[in-house]
Amino acid sequence: VDVDQIVLSPDTWFSTAPGAVKNDTTIVPKSPVGPGVTFVRLPYLQQVSATGAVVVWAVREAGSGAVAYQSGSGGPNVVPSTTRLVPASVTGMGFDYYQHEAQLSALTALTSYSYRVAVNSIDGGVTETFRTAPAPGSGTVRFIAFGDSGVGSTEQRQLSSLMTGTSFDFALHTGDVVYGVPGGSVAGGYPQLHSWFFDTYRGWLGSRPVFPAIGNHDEEAASAAPYRDVFVLPRNAANASYPDHVERYYSFDYGPAHFIVLDTELAFRDSLRRQEQVSWLVGD
C-alpha cells in the first residue's frame, strides 16, 4: 500500500472524493493557516433567474459579509450581504449564528458564474459555480422534484449522491423538507434542517437552487418559521390582508416554463386565507 496524502475535511470533501477512487494523482492544497470563517451553512443558491441570483450562507462569526463573483468574460464583482443574528434561543442549536443574504443582479442569461463568500474580508475558502436561466419564454429547462426527504437516512444520502452527479438546472421540493425524528414524524425545526437538508445536500446546493413548498411537518414547527427563515423565496404573494403569506406561496419563471408553488397549510385551511391564495393564483 502506497499512501501519499490523507484528506480530512469538514465541508468541501466531506461527501465528495477529491479525485479518483484508484490510482489517483490529485494533491489537495493545504488550507491557509490563520483566522477563518466557521460555517454553519455553506453557501447555497436561491432564486436563480436569467438576470439574478441570491447567495445565502450562515457563520458563527459576527461581521459584514460579501460575495465576489465573475463570469468567464468579466469581473470580479463584489456585492455586500445583508446580515442578521439568529440566536440559539430561537433555533435550539446551542449557539448563535449570523445569516448572510446577497443579491446578485444584472447577470446575463445562460451564463456560468463562479463565486466566493467572505466575512469581515476573510475569504470563506469555498468556490462555487452556477449557470443563469434562459431568458423567460426561451430555451429549455431540466429540474428534479422530490419530497418527504428529511429523516437523515442512509437512503437519503444515497439519493443525494445521485442528485450531485446528475445534470439539472434546479430542484423542486414538494414539502416535508425535514421531519422531527428519524422515524418520520413530528415537526422539523432548525437542527433537522441543518443536519438533514443543508448538510445532506451540500454537494449541489451551492451550484443549483432549490424551490421548496411547505409540508405539514414543516408547518408544525412554529407555522413554518424555521423553513421561512432559512429559505429566501420570491415574495410576490405579499398582500396587505395577510402579510404572513409572504414566502408561503409564490411563482417564478425559468426559461420556457412558469412555476407556481402553493401552500396547503395555513393559507389553505382557513377559508378567508384560502380565498386570498386562490385570488392570487387566478391573477398569476
Chain centre distance of CA 117:
14
Q: Is the pLDDT of residue 3 over 80?
A: no
- Helix extents (H) in the chain: 88-91, 154-164, 190-193, 202-205, 216-219, 225-230, 266-269, 271-283
pLDDT recorded at residue 35? 60
Q: Is the pLDDT of residue 10 over 70?
A: no
For 228-241, what is the mean pLDDT? 94
For 210-226, what is the mean pLDDT? 96
pLDDT recorded at residue 14? 66
The β-bridge relationship of strands 210-212 and 97-104 is unpaired
Please say whether the beta carbons of 50 and 133 come within 8 A.
Answer: yes
**For residue 53, what is its C-alpha cell?**
441570483
pLDDT recorded at residue 5? 73
pLDDT 10s digits, 61-112: 999 999 999 998 877 899 999 999 999 999 999 999 999 999 999 999 999 9
From CA 211, how far away is CA 251, in angstroms rounded? 10
From CA 80, how far away is CA 101, in angstroms rounded? 9
State the pTM of this model.
0.86
Coil vs helix vs strand at 211: strand
Residue 268: other Cβ atoms inside 10 A: 16
Chain centre distance of CA 99:
12
Among 137, 129, 126, which residue's Cα sits nearest to residue 111? Answer: 129
From CA 124, how far away is CA 16, in angstroms rounded? 19
